[in-house]
Structure formats: C-alpha cells, structure tokens
Structure 1
C-alpha cells in the first residue's frame, strides 16, 4: 500500500488566474515503482459487483445501483492491489481526488480505531471508483463517502477533495468510521501534506459537515485539548517530530511561495489550513509547487547552500516517488462541455510537464495508457527514465528540463485555445471526437518533446562521463 505520501493543493475560483476551480495532488509511492495510467471508465465498464483487493471488503450491490456517469481516472497500471483510480472528472463536471494519507492520534484510535485490513473496510484503492460515477455535486461526494465510511469503515486515515466549477470541499476520515469536511472559501487556497489538516471547525455552519455523532463523541470521550472551540487537527491529528520533518516543511515552503509574507519556520505545527495568496494562482504555479524541492534554501537536495545533513532534513514535495500528478480544473469561461480539464503528468515532477486533457471524452491517448513493464513507447516510462538520468547532475540537466517544460506548456496552451474556438457549435459525438483528437495531438507532442529532452540530456552528458580517456586530458 502507498503510505504517508502525496501533497494536495486546492485553489478556489476567486483565487485562480482565470476564475476556474483547481484541485491538485501528487500521487506518490514507496521504494517500488508503481506505473500509472490514464483511462476513461464508461458506464458499461463500471463494476456492478465490487470487492476490494486489499481488504476483501464486498460492497453491497445496492450501493452500486442507479445511474452511472462516465469518468476519467488515473489508475495503477497493474491492478495488483486494486484499481487506485486516484482522480478524475465525471460527465456531470464533478472532480474528485483521493486520497491524501493523513495522521491520527491514540485518543481517537482508542474510541474508533481504524480497521485492520483483515477485518474489511475501504481504502485509497476504492474511494474514487465507489464515489465519482455516482455524484452530481461536490456535496454529494462528501455525503456518499461519509455514508460508505459509516457503513463499511476504513483501515487508514485519508483526505480527499471534490469540486465543480463553483466550489471545493475537502474531507478527512476520522478513526475507522467517522469523518469531517469543510468547504474551501472561494478566495482561498490550501496546501495539505500527509497529516490531518482541517483546523478550525464549526458544527452549526453550512460550510462544514461531519458524522452526525461526532460532536457528542468528542464531548463523551474528552478528546478536545483546547479550552474553546474545535480545532480538528488538535482533537484528531498529530503534532510529532515526524510532522516537523516530513509534513510541515512542505506546507511552509509552499505557503511562502504563494505568499512571501507568510514567514514562519519549516517545522511549525500550527500552520493554518485556509490561506490566501498575494496573487492569482495559475496552473504553472501549482505545477511548480508540486515539483518543488526547497529551491534557494539550505534544504534543497540539488542546491549548493546547505550541508549534506541539511539537504536530507526535510521531505520535499517533488521527489523520486512522484508517480502521477494531476490538476483537476473546472473552467468558467467556456461552455460546460469544455469545462473539465485533467492536467496530468507522470513520474518525478522535477523532470516532467503537465498535459491539459479534455475530460468530455470516451477514450484516452495510447501513449498515456501505461503497461506494467518498461516500455519506451509509453510516456510514463520515458518520464521516469528522464528523471533518473536528470538526477545524476541537476545543475547540467535542470535547465534543459526547464526549457522543455516551458515549450511543452506553451504548445499545449496553444492547442487548447485553438480547440476551444474550433469546437464552438459542436455537440454530441462530433464534439467528443474533436476533443479526443486534441488530446491525442497534445499527448503525442509532449511524448516527442520528452524523447527530445532525453536526447539532449544524453548529448550533454556524453562529455561528463567518468569512464573516459582523451590524449588531451
């Protein structure tokens, strides 16, 4: 299972550069490479009988009945430990990303412990598949996940987000069967690392939702350490040395990127959940943030400011264990049929670029359909190879990557603008075909750009090899 990984970023419509909502997450793993794919689940392909692979939890058929919407997903290519659909946008233009692994504490685990997988329960492998095809609003997403948690339970602590073109909700699981959720203010952004993130909570406010008995549970079992109010991070989360090194520094660094007046120290335990940037946030800002590794600080593994010890002090956002990163964007300046865009990148974020795929489609480009074995015809593996070569000498290869990313993003933006104009007046199958054609064009362009990047890195690295001998040396 993927544990203690991922970094979530949420941006409300009044905080973005174009008035869209954006929910993003890097899907990270462990020491073993987990190849990720990009697929569409059409209604006929949605499972009507479902059993979790990890926990063997069987879902009642009644919970899979009713209307099923088409949706995009970024599943694990092998399916060895389940689907792990990760993120997508459905045909009602509702986006979902799941999940962000988060923390807990002994107090709540003594009251409502997470299940052992041998006991059943749901986990990251399940949530998108069991939720996204059945919802028409972000609120419905929150309520459906809450229902599933209360009925089946969970064996891990997770955070997840839902959005439409108007607003964003963020949900966190509490113990084995409880949950909390908060609507993100339209003018705010959120950075959520691998800890319980929701802080201030109001039980009598429509912008907050929770398990019906949660307030009573807090009072009955004396779970609140604060004298006034409800801070869910204090009540249910952690404040550990691991948080100070693994989680808090990522949030601190990105807060200072989005708002240099934020200040503070990397290990600060009480960084706010809801934050406000000093500018409107763009796709490029989020991609940079998801690729960041403490640049211009002593903590940058690629930098020249810190000691060897400092370079290993804090976990960065951009890391070798990034296997898939998405930005789910719902736009407000185009017709609804064009509004959903799943920006997608595979591999470590220091050496890849995002591709803005339209989600009103029935199929995805071939080179983004990843197989389980190393294959240089698939962009996942080309990206992984480029990152591992680039990591050997970031000072040399980093500028090549920056040029590649700027070029690719500009070309994709151009195709997207041209497509938005070209499909005006189209509908139905004709529109879907044009959007799939644009997706294919962008995918093949970025694939070729990535191959070209790899070629440039080989050319630059030729003269830097240690195994060489020249009469002029």
Structure 2
C-alpha cells in the first residue's frame, strides 16, 4: 500500500490462487498490509443501504472526488483507526461475494511517467475499496469500474489490485497516470506479487483473460515506450529494474514460488521470474497463510537466523511493519451466506493467527472495532501486538512456546469453522445471518483468549531476564 506524507510509505505482498489450484475448489486472494509497526486497524461491516439522494465520495487524503450509486451493498472492510488521513479500507467481501484487496504498491519507470504523469487528486489506494467494492456484482465488474475511474480521474500512484468472485480471480495493475491492465488468474494456477509491476505478456485479442485501457497499445507505440523488439511485455514497458528490486522485491516472489514449486531452481534476484505458476500440489488456506507469514525460514536470509552475513540481505514477506494480513476465501460449493470467509491476522502475520470471519453478517466482534494509536488492552490489534512485542524481546527463548500456541489455535479455529459450516446449513437464510455473526464472535473470543493466555505466560517467564539480576544463592 502507499500512504500520504503523514504516514510512512509502505509495501505489501500478495497472493492469488485459482479454484482448480486449491485443495477444496476455493478461490483465494490475500495480502499483507504493511505500513508502520504501530498503526492499528479495525474490522467492520457496512450494511446495505438504499439512498434517496445522489451520493458523493470526497477523499480526506488528496481531495479525490467522484459520484457514487444510490445503492450501496453490504461489505466488510479493515479501515484505519483514524479517518484523519482517509479511510484506507483495504480489503473485504460484499453481499454478492465479490472480494477485493487494494493495494499492492508498485513502481513505474521515469520514461512512462514522463509520457503520462500521476494526477495529484486522482484516485488512490485510500479510496479504492470504498468506491468500488460496494457497487459491483462480479470480479470482472470490479476491474471495469476501477478502470473507468482511473481513466476518468487518473491516479496518484502505481498499484496492484486483487479481485475475486466465486468463479475467477483477477490481478489489476495501474501504471502511470491513466494506464492500467488486468489479467485473469488461470483456474489451475497461482500468482505471488511483491511491489513490482508483475503482469508480463498481454494478449490484446483475449478479452476473457485480459482487460486494459482502451488506448494502451497506441499509448505505448506513440510514445515509443516498448524496449523489446517483439511482443508486448507490460512489466518491461512500465516497470522498473535494478538493485532495489533485487533486494526488496524479487526475493519475496522467489520464496513464494520456492514454497509452492520446490522442484524449480531459481535465483532470488532473477528479475524475470514468471507472474503465473502452477503449483506442484493443491494449495490450502494454510498454504496461503504460510506464504504471507514467511520470513525466509530454512534459508540463510531469515532475519531471525544465525547467518550474520545474509540474514538481512533481502526484505522478508512478514515483517514488523505489517498492520494486518488477510486472505479472502470464496467457497462456491457453499450456500450463498457461507461462501465468503475473511481470514484476518491483526499485526505481524508471523506472530499472529488468521481468524476466519464469515462476511454475511450484521456486525463484527467488539474488540476488532477498537484500538487507537497507543496501546489499548481491549483492542484486538493491540492484544496481538502485545504478545508479539513480548516475544521480540526474547525471540529465541520463547519461539517454541509461541509457535505451539499458533499451531494449536490454527487447528482449533479450523475446527470451529467446519462445525459452524455444518450448523449454519441447517438454518433458514434469515437465521443464518444471525448465527454467522455469533460464530464470528466465538472465533474472535477463542483467538483473543489464546493470545491473552500467551501474554500472561510471556510476562511471567520474562521476569527473570532483568539486567539487574546477579548470580546468588537461591536464598539470597
């Protein structure tokens, strides 16, 4: 994601998984929202509303303004703790089971930006979920609506945006002021993205799998932007290359593809890693979690490891600056109210747990709507952050206990979701909504209780680590 001057510029990591690439036929999109080590997020649901008057969106961040439809669908979101700098709702699922995550920050090269500069009051990350997700009924509609807004208003930044519904997943990229392209993720494939323009070859004659700015080919030709003698590689034309990418971006794509295709030998600094891959096995929600929680475990590049030469060589996927991490799962085999599950890990993914939340609900758990800039013991965000901060103080000493809590809780939450699925399907549609809202509260309580217990253990066991200790007789 990208932020205004009041907040630290940031960078995220994303994953998209097609329905035939997943273990249970689900489509999944997910992302780490990275910004600051201390910047709380909330989890909310906006109800369906039919307005009598025309609606207007005006950004508190940069003044971007656009008209909105009178009908706003129900949708979930993870906004900032404060609206002072804008909403930054980031991710959610609407009542038609369309999922959206925005955005994956990217970078365009100077040559492209000279031809089509960014627009200071154009649409940007802060507004995208809010002005798109409540107003579309399919992933493809989401791409089209955002594309129209980009062409009409321009954008302030280069980004990647993830869309999915029960049938397909799309990855969309903005590059320069008004240029964009989107590619459908093949059903049998996955993609991982890390702050680069990722889409490669575009087939302009394949509308089923590609969408783009109407004049994209002409724009590139008229401004002589294509560095390749043949073909149209969006990444080559609009993206960046160099040492920064090889340190910051490509290694995260490399580790993701290493997780899902361990049989393929690749270099972590290879700038031609493919955008689309077919995994060597079917992927589950747990696999997506493990990717978004990864910090190069099992390699010399793990910042918690012993290799003092390489452990800070590459930027890891999971790091202290993550505000929240999410996986938006769409399960087409389920009844409509049970299709969308928003797996949400507050704080650092590697030091938190993904809690499954149904999205056909009327409210979210109270603790997930709390949390300000300073620590609050009743805030879900701060409960997870407190445990991770205590672990950081004695990382290796507490690693085993912490990981055991995470492993046990993952299994417990999975079992709760499975049991709720069975129980909900025995209810009427009206009763399902109330039941799912209650089920979310139970899942949240289970996870928060586990972390509060863990925190108690960490505090208790940390009491003897004081630098004021002195080796003495036990009685002294």
Q: Does residue 241 of structure 1 match 2:243?
A: yes
Residue 17 of structure 1 is matched in structure 2 by 23
Residues 471 and 425 from structure 1, CA distance in 2 versus in 1: closer, same or farther, beyond 3 angstroms? Answer: closer
Q: Does residue 29 of structure 1 match 2:35?
A: yes
Q: CA deviation at 1:344?
A: 0.3
Q: CA deviation at 1:464?
A: 3.3
Residue 76 of structure 2 is matched in structure 1 by 72
Residue 48 of structure 1 is matched in structure 2 by 55
The answer for unaligned runs of 5 or more in structure 1 is: none
Residue 317 of structure 1 is matched in structure 2 by 317
Contact kept, 8 Å, 1:11 with 1:188, in 2: the verdict is yes
Residue 170 of structure 2 is matched in structure 1 by 169
Moved more, 422-431 or 372-381: 422-431
Residue 230 of structure 1 is matched in structure 2 by 232
Q: Does residue 439 of structure 1 match 2:407?
A: no
TM-score (norm 1): 0.95
**Residue 251 (structure 1) aligned to one of 236, 253, 256:** 253
Alignment of 1:149-228 (within 5 A): 149-206=150-207, 207-228=209-230
Contact kept, 8 Å, 2:174 with 2:180, in 1: the verdict is yes
Q: Does residue 260 of structure 1 match 2:266?
A: no
Distance 1:240 1:128 in 2: 31
Distance 2:137 2:279 in 1: 30
The answer for unaligned runs of 5 or more in structure 2 is: none
Q: Does residue 101 of structure 1 match 2:101?
A: no
Residue 278 of structure 2 is matched in structure 1 by 276
Distance 2:143 2:438 in 1: 34
Q: 1:75-126 CA distances to partner (integer Å, 9 max, x unpaired)?
A: 111112111110000000000000000011012101111123xxx1111110
Residue 65 of structure 2 is matched in structure 1 by 58
Q: CA deviation at 1:459?
A: 3.1
Residue 335 of structure 1 is matched in structure 2 by 335
Contact kept, 8 Å, 2:365 with 2:440, in 1: the verdict is yes
Distance 2:430 2:420 in 1: 15
Give the SS at the match of 2:180: strand
Give the SS at the match of 2:125: coil
Q: 1:52-95 CA distances to partner (integer Å, 9 max, x unpaired)?
A: 11211221x3xx12432100001111112111110000000000
Q: CA deviation at 1:262?
A: 2.4
Q: 1:143-182 CA distances to partner (integer Å, 9 max, x unpaired)?
A: 0000000111111111101101211011000211111000
Distance 1:472 1:236 in 2: 69
Q: Does residue 383 of structure 1 match 2:387?
A: no
Distance 1:381 1:48 in 2: 35
Give the SS at the match of 1:442: helix
Residue 355 of structure 2 is matched in structure 1 by 355
Residues 326 and 161 from structure 1, CA distance in 2 versus in 1: closer, same or farther, beyond 3 angstroms? Answer: same
Q: CA deviation at 1:311?
A: 1.7
Residues 229 and 220 from structure 1, CA distance in 2 versus in 1: closer, same or farther, beyond 3 angstroms? Answer: same
Contact kept, 8 Å, 1:350 with 1:387, in 2: the verdict is no
Contact kept, 8 Å, 1:170 with 1:184, in 2: the verdict is yes
Give the SS at the match of 2:290: helix
Distance 1:374 1:210 in 2: 44
Distance 2:107 2:50 in 1: 34
Give the SS at the match of 1:325: strand
Give the SS at the match of 1:13: coil
Q: 1:308-335 CA distances to partner (integer Å, 9 max, x unpaired)?
A: x422211000100011110000012321
Residue 294 of structure 2 is matched in structure 1 by 292
Contact kept, 8 Å, 1:361 with 1:435, in 2: the verdict is yes
Give the SS at the match of 2:319: coil
Residue 144 of structure 1 is matched in structure 2 by 145
Distance 2:345 2:183 in 1: 28
Give the SS at the match of 1:310: coil
Q: CA deviation at 1:451?
A: 0.6
Residue 7 of structure 1 is matched in structure 2 by 13
Moved more, 259-268 or 357-366: 259-268
Residue 408 of structure 2 is matched in structure 1 by 407
Residues 45 and 294 from structure 1, CA distance in 2 versus in 1: closer, same or farther, beyond 3 angstroms? Answer: farther
Give structure 1 regions of 4+ aligned residues with deviation exceeding 4 angstroms. Answer: none
